[in-house]
């Protein structure tokens, strides 16, 4: 696990995934025990959504010249 984290290039997605997993494991599953089985899927979907919306926004259309 440590080797995987140290070789990743996307630290933001790794931190988001770890935080979402901790919240789901220690908050959501104890509050709603029937969600224990789909917890992994919930973590994956939430991580994908948060990583997408929290990604750095770069305006590439204005920074790159238009080439015809």
What are the domain boundaries of the chain?
8-53
Return the H-helix or E-strand segment holding 13: helix 11-23
Q: Is the pLDDT of residue 61 over 90?
A: no
Structure tokens at 11: 């630290």
Closest CA to 50 of 7, 21, 8: 21
pLDDT tens readout for residues 13-44? 889 999 999 999 999 999 999 999 999 999 99
Residues with Cβ within 8 Å of 3's Cβ and at least 6 positions away in sequence, in order, are none
Distance (Å, whole) CA 40 – CA 25? 9
Q: What is the pTM of this model?
A: 0.72
């Amino acid at each position: 696990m440590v080797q995987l984290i140290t070789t990743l290039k996307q630290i933001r997605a790794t931190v988001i995934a770890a935080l979402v997993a901790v919240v789901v494991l220690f908050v959501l599953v104890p509050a709603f025990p029937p969600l224990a089985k789909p917890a992994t899927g919930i973590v994956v979907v939430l991580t994908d959504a948060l990583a997408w919306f929290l990604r750095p926004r770069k305006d590439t259309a204005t920074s790159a010249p238009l080439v015809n």
